[in-house]
Structure 1
Amino acid sequence: MTFLYKANAIRGVEWARFFAERAPELSFRLWPDIGDPAEVRYLTVWAPPENIAATFPNLELIFSVGAGVDQFDFSQIPPHVPLIRMLEPGIAEGMVEYVTMAVLALHRDLLHFIDQQREQTWREIRVTPAAKRRVGVMGLGLLGQAVLERFKLFGFPLAGWNRSPRTIEGVRCYAGRETLPDFLAQTDILVCLLPLTDETRGILNTGLFEALPRGAKLVNVGRGGHLVEADLIAALERGLLSAAVLDVAKPEPLPAGHPFWSHPRILLTPHIASMTTPEAAVEFVLDTIGRHRRGEALPGRVDRDRGY
């Protein structure tokens, strides 16, 4: 019985060590050393291999090494094989840290001060109190809720938008496409934490930017596919938006010469907002395998109809 890991090879070595300590009965293999494919029962991946069903006929569980699953073609996964998105706590903790950093940087005009330092300019920018800076989060799953909980500490007026209704204390919640304009109209800093689905692909576009208060700011930690890149550049040039922090892109990495690399109103990071911690990830995976063997409900199981 084999557990196959196909993701970051350096972190895979750490996974192997933890598996040897905690599940020595499982044969742990690092891609591309798959051994006998018929022995593979559990697969953890970032970029899925081709022909999963044909290659691994006895597969029982597939784990995404991250919180997202938009990289999977669900039609290539047998219906009886659950797909599990990673729920280890380090992902949420890292995301909260990153989004807090990004929102505070935008709130306190850090990109302007970086420009001024390069220009050797000493000029104050009047501070807007947090109580007058409205923050809105798109996507109210575990990550979105964790981010909003942290923002309560700063005193920002908070709003959230989601596909399905949510109730979060201290947060004005909106649900469904018909409420999106109302949500956007009261959002000065917009955080995208949506899953990438057919419904949300390209949602960060000119129409959405025009619905925000003029000069609003954007943080995208969802997926690059959420953003229409040309629309962002145009929105910054037109003054619809005043700044953006982007941790995701399409493709990744961005090619040389892409306008995001040098745009003065964009802070770009290489998809590092949150990372799976090997030790905690192995604990989650082994717990899920145990639940599966006992016929129990599986945390993080993906609803293929919804896409997450």
Structure 2
Amino acid sequence: MSSLNLSFVQNMSIVRPEYFFIIGLSGIPYSSYYYIFLFIAYLIAVIGNSVVLLIIGLERSLHSPKYIGVFNLALADLGETNAVIPNMMKTFFSDSQYMSYNACLANMFFVNFFITVQSATLVVLAFDRFIAICLPLRYHAILNNTVMSLAFIVLWVFNTSMVALSSSLMTRLSFCKSNVIESFYCDYGPLLMMACNDSSINVFITNLIAAMFLIAPLFIIFLSYLGIFFALSKITTWKARLKALNTCVSHLLLVGVFFIPVICIFIASSVSSLTLNTRVISTSLSFTLPPMLNPIIYVLNTAEIRVLIRKLLTNRTMPIRKNISK
């Protein structure tokens, strides 16, 4: 009898719900205030990253390996912001928490894709700082615009294939338990918990991607800064050390903004079981804050970008002043 049941389960057709019901923010008290924050964060992220993209794209003096990395990060931030926040805002304004099956898979792909691109870009920028400080005389021989552009092309192709693999494997799962996703987007983890057939392959691929794009990048960045601090220790004067270290401040802040929330959520969830509201808010902040803060960090800590912004503002106001004087 058990063998007949097993055969029936194995030959059972895949159950794919017409839609999923996303309840992530519905139970949060005073959620309207949180949506206001999300709207402000969205505007800052879109405007800030668009300005960074525009300045780097138009200013030839910024066409260097480092700023190709910054351009790539701003592009990923812009993509992640538009993949996450508009869907959350639609839930609030239209009072509709439904998402079709195909739209759910698409949402999952784009959110996970842009997160992996952010993580990999931080690794490339760490390598850029390592070469610039530890091997300054060989910097242009090792890194140039062509090498950096090819690196990011490979990165985008590889990330696309890995995330597409993990998203496509969701189509083999049968969702006969529920169609309610306890998250603020089409989250991979809650979906796996809803599956009623074998999801071991999906879990393996998920853990592999987490190791490749979260654990390994953090470890590589840590090793690169060990090398940087070792190189700085050989510099005789404190002034020269601080000058060299100052070139890493922006990148260190970006790494902290991206990884610290993820680490805090992981530690908190392993120490105690988080409530749904706490988990949703903390996770949504870890998705929202980096795209909002990254352009601010680069504008405030990069003299070249600040100078170019002042020039743009000055050029815009100069004709107005001339007309007034006439």
State the TM bucket, normalised to the shorter chain.
under 0.3
- The structure with the largest alpha-carbon Rg is 2
The two structures have a TM-score, normalised by structure 2, of: 0.24
User: Which fold has the larger relative contact order, with Cα–Cα distance below 8 Å and residues 6 or more apart in sequence?
Assistant: 2
Q: Identify, as 1 or 2, the structure richer in helix.
A: 2
Q: Identify, as 1 or 2, the structure richer in strand.
A: 1
